[in-house]
């Protein structure tokens, strides 16, 4: 916050208005330590750039400049209004204004529509402070207008319900119900980002209840996976734990999430965690085949606990490359060429070593191999 206040001071000394706005104000009033800071100002982007040595044009066409001070980046945005949203996602145009009031009235929810001066004086034009006290998420002004401007705001309301453990105002919720279909116009990348945040917030089940009750789930890719019983879900900071729970509860595989364009790494994690969770009991082979993160995800489904990193570290080998022998050794000992036999022999040795039935020692493995495969030296 110190850096944001310093930036505000620089802008004000230059004759401009400047305020801390958005989530940082909300979190400050909730007694939390804000992580991200946004400054709104009457200065236009080029004027902002002229006042600071280091800036990045992160969204200059929309009035936003990233100002770098003391190794910290703060987004500074010109007061603005936004025109019609013909695609329910982006404004058709952005107009810079000189009024803080005009800027705040375009924001999504009252709790995010407050501003703060450099002396920590709160400017609350839409009742955000009262809604914070009553733990209410309420749209600024007419909720239908806010959601038709940007349909993702409906999903944000649902996300905030769990993130803050707040209720959604009745009129705001009714508007989400009537406008739920607009969520289909939102890019899947934006949907997944919000859903990831829902999955990893401390009261995720509350959010998912709203997701279903509002009808939003009916308009999301694979929306039926949210309609299962989530009472047993224990959120973590890892959003994949939520997606995994949804697949597990619905007895679905990773292909069910194709509409969300998960990365190959995410799909692999989910696939392997499902496989681990499907094993009735875990043994050395389970710990060897799966990563710590896969085991942690699967363990939450199975309601089991363990220091999986420690258990894995105690295995005789961590990967095939740790084996004391390789394919070249086996071919040299047998004077045979590579073939399917080689892969089978290495796999057999690997399994014996992993389960502690054969020492990971070159001479011991050689002795076993020559005997097992009836080879003569």
Are residue 69 and residue 180 in the same domain, yes or no?
Answer: no
> Is 257 among the domain residues?
no
Are residue 4 and residue 122 in the same domain, yes or no?
Answer: yes
Are residue 223 and residue 199 in the same domain, yes or no?
Answer: yes
Give the tokens for residue 109: 């929810």
> Is 315 among the domain residues?
no
Taking alpha carbons only, the member of 156, 18, 30 closest to residue 100 is 18
Are residue 60 and residue 180 in the same domain, yes or no?
Answer: no
356-364: list long-range contacts, CB under 8 Å, 24+ apart: 356/284, 356/316, 359/316, 360/316, 360/317, 360/322, 360/323, 360/324, 361/324, 362/324, 362/325, 362/329
Q: Tell me how far apart the alpha carbons of residues 172 and 21 are, in angstroms, rounded to a whole number.
A: 22
Find the domain containing 347 and state its range.
Answer: 320-372
> Is 258 among the domain residues?
no
Residue finishing a domain among 109, 129, 149? 129
Are residue 182 and residue 222 in the same domain, yes or no?
Answer: yes
Q: Any idea what the CATH number is for the domain that residue 164 is in?
A: 1.10.110.30
Are residue 156 and residue 192 in the same domain, yes or no?
Answer: yes
What is the pLDDT tens value at each position of the chain, 377 positions in all?
Answer: 889 999 999 999 999 999 999 999 999 999 998 888 999 999 999 999 999 999 999 888 889 999 999 888 999 999 988 654 454 455 555 788 888 998 999 899 999 999 999 999 999 999 999 999 999 999 999 999 999 999 999 999 999 999 999 999 999 999 999 999 999 999 999 999 999 999 999 999 999 999 999 999 999 999 999 999 999 998 999 999 999 999 999 999 999 999 999 999 999 999 999 999 999 999 999 999 999 999 999 999 999 999 999 999 999 999 999 999 999 999 999 988 899 999 999 999 999 999 999 999 999 999 999 988 766 54
> Measured between alpha carbons, how far is residue 75 from residues 62, 102, 310 in Å?
12, 19, 42
Residue finishing a domain among 99, 129, 159? 129
Taking alpha carbons only, the member of 73, 80, 16 closest to residue 48 is 16
Are residue 124 and residue 144 in the same domain, yes or no?
Answer: no
Q: 3-state class of 92 per DSSP? A: coil
* Total number of domains constituting the chain: 3
Give the tokens for residue 82: 């936004």
> Is 364 among the domain residues?
yes
């Amino acid at each position: 916050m110190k850096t944001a206040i310093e930036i505000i001071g620089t802008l004000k000394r230059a004759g401009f208005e400047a305020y801390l706005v958005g989530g940082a104000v909300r979190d400050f009033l909730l007694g939390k330590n804000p992580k991200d800071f946004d400054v709104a100002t009457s200065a236009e982007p080029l004027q902002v750039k002229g006042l600071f040595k280091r800036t990045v044009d992160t969204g200059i066409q929309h009035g936003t400049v990233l100002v770098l001070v003391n190794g910290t980046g703060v987004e500074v945005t010109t007061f603005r209004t936004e025109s019609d949203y013909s695609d329910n996602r982006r404004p058709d145009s952005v107009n810079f204004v000189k009024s803080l009031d005009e800027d705040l009235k375009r924001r999504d929810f009252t709790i995010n529509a407050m501003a703060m001066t450099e002396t920590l004086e709160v400017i609350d034009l839409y009742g955000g402070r009262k809604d914070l006290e009553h733990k209410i998420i309420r749209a600024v002004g007419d909720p239908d207008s806010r959601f038709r401007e940007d349909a993702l705001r409906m999903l944000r309301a649902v996300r905030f319900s769990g993130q803050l453990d707040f209720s959604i105002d009745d009129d705001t919720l009714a508007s989400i119900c009537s406008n739920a279909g607009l969520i289909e116009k939102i890019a899947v990348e934006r949907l997944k980002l919000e859903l990831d945040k829902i999955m990893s917030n401390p009261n995720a089940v509350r959010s998912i209840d709203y997701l279903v009750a509002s009808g939003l789930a009916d308009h999301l890719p694979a929306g039926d996976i949210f309609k299962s019983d989530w009472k047993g879900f224990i959120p973590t900071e890892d959003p994949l734990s939520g997606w995994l729970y949804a697949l597990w509860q619905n007895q679905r595989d990773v292909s069910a999430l194709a509409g969300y364009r998960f990365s190959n790494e995410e799909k692999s994690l989910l696939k392997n965690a499902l496989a681990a969770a499907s094993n009735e009991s875990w043994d050395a082979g389970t710990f060897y085949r799966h990563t710590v993160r896969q085991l942690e995800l699967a363990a939450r489904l199975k309601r089991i606990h363990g220091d999986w990193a420690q258990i894995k570290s105690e295995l005789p080998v961590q990967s095939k490359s740790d084996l004391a022998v390789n394919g070249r050794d086996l071919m040299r000992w047998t004077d045979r060429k590579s073939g399917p036999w080689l892969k089978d022999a290495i796999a057999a040795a690997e399994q014996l070593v992993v389960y502690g039935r054969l020492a990971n020692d070159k001479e011991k493995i050689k002795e076993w191999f020559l005997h097992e495969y009836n080879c003569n030296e």
